[in-house]
A = this chain, B = another copy of it.
Amino acid sequence: VSSGFARVDAARVRALREQLDRELGAALVVKDDGVTLEAYGRDESGLGPFLADLVVFPSDTAQVQAVIRACQRHAVPVVPVGARTGKSGGSLPVCGGVALALEKMNRILQVDPDDLVAVVQPGVVLGALVAEVESKGLFYPPDPNSWETCTLGGNVAENAGGPRALKYGVTRDYVLALEWVLPSGEVVRAGHRTAKGVAGYDLVGLFVGSEGTLGVATEITLRLLPKPRAVRVALVSFRTVADATGAVGRVLSGGFLPRALELLDDVVLRAVAGKGVSFHPESRAVLLIELDGTRDDAVLEDLLEVAARCEEAGALDTQVAQDEAQREALWRVRRLVSPGLRALCGGKLSEDVVVPRSRISEAVERFKAIGARHGLVIATYGHAGDGNLHTNVLFSGPEDNPRVQLALDEIMGVTLLLGGTITGEHGVGLAKKKYLPGELGPSRLALERAIRVTLDPEFRLNPGKLFEQS
């Protein structure tokens, strides 16, 4: 595969492997068969494959440390890998070398209802943690779409978000402490088991979202919340996206902070039409609005006031789920969006730009116009509460790629012009690397590079990602 990235020299990899065999022997699982290399060469970004030379499966912190030290010694790149559900190519081993797969470190070490804390290894699947904490009446809010398969190490590396971010924040807001192997191979512990703590710099914050470039998390301490006892959802239809975002403003200014405020535009509605939920015939946008709290009657009363506020803002109609089955049916619409859009055209490229809340409607219009100029259909859905838009460029096949790339460049440009950011939850990785300098500007890019150099002078960890060494 020609990728534009310099691959590591084979002799170095051989020397590395000999050292690993000597030091760790059979205790460390190492694979280099074609099937494994191919599997670890891809993620959900659609980029790749980029083949590692070796995929290693450490089972504890000491093994992670030994692998990273050996990679430093033999000048071999090393890329931490979770469940490969990433959307930006962040875990792809573009320069070859070692893919460091954390999936064997998959133990939930502790769920403590008194301290409202969970301690997990990086390979724990988010869905497994959710099941465990909810069985104890607790709540871990971050809910990326891939929650059933993604792992917490990946969530931390990418600072995963999800629909609940408006009210509950993102992964970063729940990481209390980390044990982490630095690019030097040293183990550092940062953060606290307590929710508060201001001693020293916020190294946890620096690590979360660093996309596998500043080290490898080997133990993650998470903040939990009491589980809300009541949840209610409604689907509200509008004539336009502008009406829908106007309604969002009226809801928020009424003192309501929904746990989800999902927007679907007209193309998305076409994609999910006839799949179990019917929309008002004039609907060209809908909001899925979910509230939670302690008392079902109070949450329902709130939801009815929210619906009334939406109607004042021009809503066509409101469907309030009356029970858990109806709630599930409304959320099913949201989950059908991605496959539905793919079925509309054949292929799609899903972005995750963010614009200030007041610019959502303008952004959706401008993205559509960009698509029209390039003969492409653009669909937008996403988190209307925080402006995080999953703008999808639909296409028929690989022959559309040049037009798709041009449209994407323009979408990123408009996003930055509107005061937004190129990625709200997927990360930069490989997919958005070329747009990063435009967002950060030279001073900030230089500062980030200086910090990375301080921790990893040779860019041994995840080279080729985020930005180059110089």
Q: Which of A's residues lie within 8 Å of B, judged by CB?
A: 112-117, 137, 158-159, 161, 165-166, 169-170, 172-173, 182, 186-190, 192-203, 205-206, 208-210, 214, 225-229, 249, 252-257, 293-295, 297-298, 301-302, 305, 354-358, 383, 386-388, 419-428, 432, 436, 439-441, 443-445, 447-448, 450-455, 466
Contacts and interface: CB of A to CB of B under 8 A. Distances in A.
Contact of A252 (B116, B117, B455): B116
Contact of A355 (B169, B194, B253): B194
Nearest to A444: B188
A387 B195 contact: yes
Given A173-B173, A192-B420, A201 B354 contact: no
A114 B249 contact: yes
B193 A356 contact: yes
Copies of the protein in its oligomer = 2
B195 A165 contact: yes
B188 A428 contact: no
A259 to B, nearest CB: 13
Given A169-B173, A294-B302, A198 B423 contact: yes
A200 B294 contact: no
B137 A192 contact: no
A443 B188 contact: yes
Contacts of A199: 421-423, 428, 432, 436, 439-440
Nearest to A228: B255
A117 B443 CA distance: 24
Contacts of A453: 454
A115 B196 CA distance: 27
B387 A196 contact: yes
For A114, A257, A425, A440, the residue with the greatest tally of chain B CB atoms inside 10 Å of its CB is A114
For A161, A170, A187, A295, the residue with the greatest tally of chain B CB atoms inside 10 Å of its CB is A295
A189 B441 contact: yes
B113 A200 contact: no
Given A357-B116, A358-B112, A196 B228 contact: no
Contacts of A354: 192, 194, 196-197
Contact of A200 (B117, B187, B358, B448): B448
A200 B436 contact: yes
A388 B196 contact: yes
Contact of A170 (B196, B225, B301): B196
21 contacts: A113-B253, A114-B356, A159-B202, A165-B195, A166-B195, A172-B205, A182-B447, A194-B386, A197-B424, A198-B426, A199-B440, A200-B428, A200-B436, A200-B448, A201-B210, A202-B208, A202-B209, A226-B252, A226-B253, A254-B294, A451-B454
A425 B198 contact: yes
Given A226-B252, A450-B454, A444 B203 contact: yes
Contact of A293 (B192, B225, B227, B293): B293
Contacts of A225: 257
A355 to B, nearest CB: 7
A114 B294 contact: no
Closest 9 CB pairs of A and B: A205-B205, A298-B298, A196-B424, A197-B421, A114-B358, A229-B255, A194-B354, A195-B386, A188-B443
Contacts of A186: 443
